[in-house]
Structures are given as C-alpha cells and as structure tokens.
Structure 1
Amino acid sequence: MRGLTHFITTWMLIILFVAIVFMIYQEANQPETVYVGEEATEASELHPVVEKAKNDLIDQASEIDIDVIITDDVRSKERQDELYARGRSKEGTIITHAQGGESYHNYGLAIDYAIKDNNGNVIWDIHYDGNDNGESDWFEVAEIAKDIGFEWGGDWQHFKDYPHLQMTFGLSINELQKGYRPPDK
C-alpha cells in the first residue's frame, strides 16, 4: 500500500510540475499588452512600431526603385463607417468589411499603400512593373512589408485587401475594443 501511495504522490508532483512549467511558458509567450481603458478606443497617430515599419517600408522599396505612397493610416470610427457604407448604403464598390471600431486603422495599427508610377501618378495597379525587373512592384512591396512584420491584406482568404498592411501584435479587434493596446516598443 505504501508503495502505491508513493507512486501516486510522485506522479501527482510530476503532473503539477509540468502544469506549472506549461503555465509559465504560456504566460511568457502571450503578447505583452497594456490596458488603457474602454474610453481610449481611438488612436490619433500610428503606433510607434508601425510608424517605424512604415518608414522602413518606404526606404526599402525606394532602394529597388519603387515609389510607395501611404494613402491611409489612422482612421476615425466615422471615417471607417463612411468607407463601410460604399457599395452598401452609398454608391461605389465595397472596399471594406469593417465598420467603425472594427478596423486596425482605428487603433493606429494599419496603413494602406499605393505605388507612384514613372510619370508620378498614384496607381493601384497590382501588375505594374515600374522598376522593370519582371516582378509586380505591388507584390514586391508586400513581400518587403511582410519581412518587416506587417500582415498583408492580399494574403487574406475571403476578402483580398491589396493596399492594406497591419500589425496586430497578437491582439484581436475584440481586445482592442475592450481597451487593450500593444506596448509602445
């Protein structure tokens, strides 16, 4: 009987140890977030990490003769609702499935881009090859962006948003709506 009790106790301690190690691992791999409160739901500027990544993207694209233009960054909820209305209650084509407060733009975590062609015109042609290297400038920029850490809307399965780049920092829209934010570093 004593041997069985010792065996069970040993296994319980091993299971407890594994559970503690797992919990520590999970906590260490959770995105570091800051709770700023429910009132602070809108951003007035890009998150510092996104701002730096945006500038790096423009610089790296320029090095391969692609002129990237940032066409949109932080958006108010009202502006997001205006864009959402296109193709629904207003004329135009549907360009977003996110209403106000449901876009990473509303939290300073997303940008949209376009390309300037060789004549200086801003274009959204995903096939344009202005640097004449046989590759789409649009997709070259997307690859640079992904290497920097952006998620690209062109990779999405259900709604391809080719101009869209975002950094989620592991936070869902639901978490952002509740007031959670990534740290500023």
Structure 2
Amino acid sequence: MKHTKTAFSIFFLLILGSFLFIWLENELTFREQLKERSLPSGLHPIVEEKRDLLVNQAAEIGIDILITDGYRSPEEQDGLHSQGRNTPGSVVTHAQAGESYHNYGLAIDYALRLDDGSVVWDTTRDGNGNGESDWFEVAAIGKELGFDWGGDWQRFKDYPHLEITFGLSIRELQQGWRPEDKME
C-alpha cells in the first residue's frame, strides 16, 4: 500500500509538473507575442488629430502652446520615473514603463510658449488678456475635445497632462487591449 501511495504521488507530481511547464511556456510565449505586436510607436491617430485641434483652437484665442510630450517609449518612461529618485531632478511621474497612457500613445503634455519663444509652465499667466488663466483655458479646450485633464485628478495633480483613454484602464492596456483607430 505504501508503494502505491508513493507511485501515485510521483505520478501526480509528474502530471502537475508537466501542466505547470506547459502553462509557463505558453504564458511566456503569449507575453512575448503581446509585447512584440501590441506596443505602439507613436500617438494614436485620434489623439494626434485632437492634439492638432487643441493647438489650433488655443491659437484662435491668442494662446500659443507647445506640445512637450506625446508617445513615450518604455525606456523614456523609466528614465522619467527615475528622475528625482535615482537621477538628479524633481519627481515628475509616479508611473513606470507600461503604467502611463503616454506609453500607449494616448496622452500628451503641453506648456505655454511666449512671444520670445521661451516655454513656461505658469498656470496663472493671462497672456491673451481676457482675465482668465491661459493654462486653464487650454485645459477647457482639451476637455471639450474629449481629453481627460490631469489637473482634475484628486491625488496627483498633473497640470500639463491630457489623455484620451477610450475607457481602457492601464491594466487592460497592459493585457493587450487597444482602442480602435477611428471613432464610430
């Protein structure tokens, strides 16, 4: 009886080990394929179109903006994440590679460009003289175009940030979900 239990245990462990080996091999293959086929290399076409509309509509009311960031590669994201932690500078993001909508081509950042060509991140500036903050006017245009604005976030205010998520979470994007290239 003891030999039967031992044989059964060995048989069970062999079956379990085989199952785990096959599962792990398939999981690694799936992740490699997902990484190869699904990471974008630029802005999503709809985000790109809305970015251009934002720049033009801001210019129509006398605000010159510069898009300071759009798509970010995983390496760029990790470089920004290390800033203020492992490299000199201030912390500018809490997102590591794969944790930012920038990594999926779904986000942009902007700043105000002055007449002399310099760039400022001044949220109180009223360069067009209408009594309203240029920064908040640009954010309002962005929201009208369908962007979510980082200045509305509860915990970490990211005033330069605009994103269109298409209803997808970062977790879903990490799992390979992607928005359509056209709006219906």
> Structure 2, unaligned stretches of length 5 or more?
1-32
Q: CA RMSD in A?
A: 1.3
Higher RCO, 1 or 2 (CA under 8 Å, sep at least 6)? 1
Matched, 1:61 2:68: no
Runs of 4+ in 1 over 2 A off after TM superposition: 36-42
Q: Is the 8 A contact 1:41 1:107 kept in 2?
A: no
| 2:168 partner SS | coil
Give, in whole Å, the separation in 1 of the partners of 2:179 and 2:139.
23
Aligned to 1:80: 77
Q: CA offset at residue 38 of structure 1? A: 4.6
CA contact (8 A) 1:38 1:177 kept: no
1:89 to 86, 89, 111: 86
Confirm or deny: 8 A CA contact 1:114 1:122 kept in the other structure.
yes
What is the rounded CA distance, in whole Å, between the counterparts of 2:37 and 2:173 in structure 1? 10
Instruction: Return the TM-score normalized by structure 1.
Output: 0.78
Identify, as 1 or 2, the structure richer in helix.
2
Give the equivalent residue in structure 2 for 1:42: 39
Distance 1:88 1:135 in 2: 36
1:152 lines up with 2:149 in the alignment: yes
Q: Which residue of 2 aligns with 1:171?
A: 168
Code of the aligned partner of 1:71: T
Measured in 1, the distance between the counterparts of 2:47 and 2:110 equals 13
C-alpha distance in 1 between matches for 2:170 and 2:36:
15
Q: Does 1:140 align with 2:169?
A: no
Query: Is the 1:41–1:176 contact (alpha carbons within 8 Å) kept by the matching residues of 2?
Result: no
> Given the two structures, how large is their TM-score scaled by the length of structure 2?
0.78
174-183 or 86-95, larger mean C-alpha shift: 86-95
Higher Cα radius of gyration = 2
Instruction: State whether structure 2 residue 91 is matched by structure 1 residue 114.
Output: no
Aligned residue identity for 1:149: G
Unaligned stretches of 5+ residues in structure 1: 1-35
8 Å contact from structure 1 (residues 39, 179) kept in 2 = no
Following superposition of structure 1 onto structure 2, how do residues 3-42 of structure 1 map, counting pairs within 5 Å? 37-42=34-39
CA distance in 2, matches of 1:42, 1:97: 20
Distance in 2 (CA, whole Å) between partners of 1:105 and 1:174 is 14
1:161 aligns with 2:158: yes
Secondary structure of 1:39 counterpart:
helix
Find the aligned partners of 2:39 and 2:91 in 1 and give their Cα distance.
Answer: 23
Separation in 2 of the partners of 1:147 and 1:120?
Answer: 27
For 1:181, the equivalent position in structure 2 comes to 178
1:120-164, CA deviations, whole angstroms, 9 ceiling, x for partnerless residues? 211111111110111110100000000000000111111111111
Identity within the alignment, %: 61
